[in-house]
Amino acid sequence: MATVKPRTPSGFPEYLPEEQIEFNRLMEIIRATYERYGFAPIDTPDLELSEVLLTKSGGETEQQVYRFTKGSNDLTMRFDLTVPLARYAAQYEGKLVFPFRRYHIGKVHRGERAQAGRFREFYQCDIDVIGSDSPIVDAEFPAIINEIFERFSFGEFTIRVNNRMVLNGFFEGIGLADASKDVLRVVDKIEKISRDELVAELKQLGLNDEQTAKVISFTNISGSNDEVLSQLRDMDIDSEEFRGGLEKLTQLIEALRAMEVPEHRFRIDLKIARGLDYYTGTVYETTLNEHPEIGSVCSGGRYDNLASHYTDTELPGVGVSIGLSRLFYKLRELGVIKATVMSPAEIVVMPLGDPQIPAGLQVASSLRAAGHSVMLYTEPNPMKKKMRYADKMGFAWVIVIGDREIANNSVSVKDMRSGDSTTVLMSELSEFIKSRP
């Protein structure tokens, strides 16, 4: 019988146990933080009806999705978590309580060309608040991002914020109201192209020399948050949208300070545009200071009407997304993430032989009941081989049980981090481990 080479399709990542444990640890930090801020979990099917999922897409999106027919159903795999949220909010509009705060952590699928850090199947971790116009709600998102990335311990990071109303109002004030969407798309690429390319693209949109210079000068405004706000207030821009956006941006900064988010971690950056058409207000992008080459690791913003293709009810919202699969890949590639633990158990119980297994079962069960994660090692190997196994698996503690330990109602405990060994009474074992760092 011929064998088949085991392999996965290109762009569909999977991990060894130690990598999956670390991936899950990061995902749990995200999930727990989302829930601490009152976001409720939802999940939607991987497969949606094509006519529903693709109702407002076209062109490039339809070329990238996985779409197929099964029986009478025309089905498409979800390519993000935002469109399913729009369908979900419209479908259950009468049952949901607004403002509706939801988080969704799940896989999405895109049939694009696979390359380093860009996958065809990957996890997104999204939060959105639907049904609120409050700029204070907008401020919660940088606070959440700050908490998550602080717990990730990947080094310092910067949450860059802006408001599309400020950008659109500025464009209106210099006579570019009709071209504002196109100019926004160019501004969104400003850090990826040269100055000459920027000027050329703005000129192609019909901007004259004065307008081009003003756009470049505006996006280069810098300084502390208060200095940027002061420069914006001093500008002679005759636009109600500009003034409204500036007020919302000011409220955002004040709310972040009230929540005691460190000032050095959030910064107004007028180059942040988020080129997608549906953003209408606050926009966010987060970068790791020591690894700018990764690009944005968490982004999002405010939109006016999430579910316009599914309901006549206006559902404004704001949200951000963490692309965990891409972030994990990049940081693992850079050596920032070091996955070394191959078991979620912190303790391994090792009876010296078969006669001690009943005592080992009792000790393992007692430790689990006390809240520890425990594995029982049952293989009849020499102690040297057992300890090599414990070391490779990354256990913090090894509990050895022999006849002498059973006779004394004790166990031999080895701290794998320090190498120290000691004898502990079985009745005191859990407290002993809990008392150690």
Give domain limits for the chain: 17-44+81-333, 347-434
Task: Give pLDDT tens digits for 417-432.
Answer: 999 999 999 999 999 9
Look up the CATH superfamily of 17-44+81-333. Bira Bifunctional Protein; Domain 2 (3.30.930.10)
What DSSP string runs through 230-299?
HHHHTS----HHHHHHHHHHHHHHHHHHHTT--GGGEEE-TT-----TTEEEEEEEEEETT-GGG--SEE
To the nearest 10 degrees (0 to 180), the angle between helices 180-188 and 195-204 is 160
Count CA atoms within 13 Å of residue 310 on its CB side.
20
347-434: what CATH class?
A: alpha beta
Q: Residue 234: pLDDT above 90?
A: yes
Task: Give pLDDT tens digits for 155-204.
Answer: 999 999 999 999 999 999 999 888 888 888 888 888 888 888 888 889 88
Q: Residue 106: pLDDT above 60?
A: yes
292: preceding bond cis by omega (within 30 degrees):
no
Instruction: Tell me what pLDDT residue 118 has.
Output: 83
To the nearest 10 degrees (0 to 180), the angle between helices 240-258 and 135-152 is 50
Of 202-211, 224-233, 383-392, where does mean pLDDT reach its minimum? 202-211
Q: At 273, is the pLDDT very low, low, confident or very high (cuts 50, 70, 90)?
A: confident
- How far is the CA of 128 from the CAs of 43, 161, 285, 358, in angstroms? 13, 17, 15, 51
Average pLDDT over residues 320-348: 94
CA distance 300 to 286: 10
Instruction: Tell me what pLDDT residue 58 has.
Output: 56
Task: Spell out a b/e string for 367-400, using b for 16 or more CB atoms within 10 Å of the CB, else e.
Answer: beeeebebbbbeeeeeeeebbebbeebbbbbbbb
Residue pair 369/429 in contact (Cβ under 8 Å)? The answer is no
Average pLDDT over residues 240-247: 96
Domains 17-44+81-333 and 347-434 share a fold: no
Instruction: Tell me what pLDDT residue 275 has.
Output: 63
| pTM over the 0.85 mark | yes
Which is more confident, 57 or 157?
157
Whole-number average pLDDT of the chain = 93
Residue pair 405/344 in contact (Cβ under 8 Å)? The answer is no
Q: Residue 60: pLDDT above 80?
A: no
The distance of Cα 313 from the centroid of its chain, to the nearest Å, equals 29
Record the tokens describing residue 260, joined without a space.
Answer: 């005691």
Instruction: Tell me what pLDDT residue 62 has.
Output: 77
CA distance 212 to 216: 6
3-class SS of residue 39: coil
CA distance 288 to 189: 19
Record the tokens describing residue 256, joined without a space.
Answer: 């972040």
Task: Give pLDDT tens digits for 252-265.
Answer: 999 999 999 999 99
Average pLDDT over residues 373-378: 97
Percent of the chain at pLDDT > 90 equals: 81
Task: Give pLDDT tens digits for 61-105.
Answer: 778 899 999 999 999 999 999 999 999 999 999 999 999 999 999
Q: How many CB atoms lie within 10 A of CB 283?
A: 26
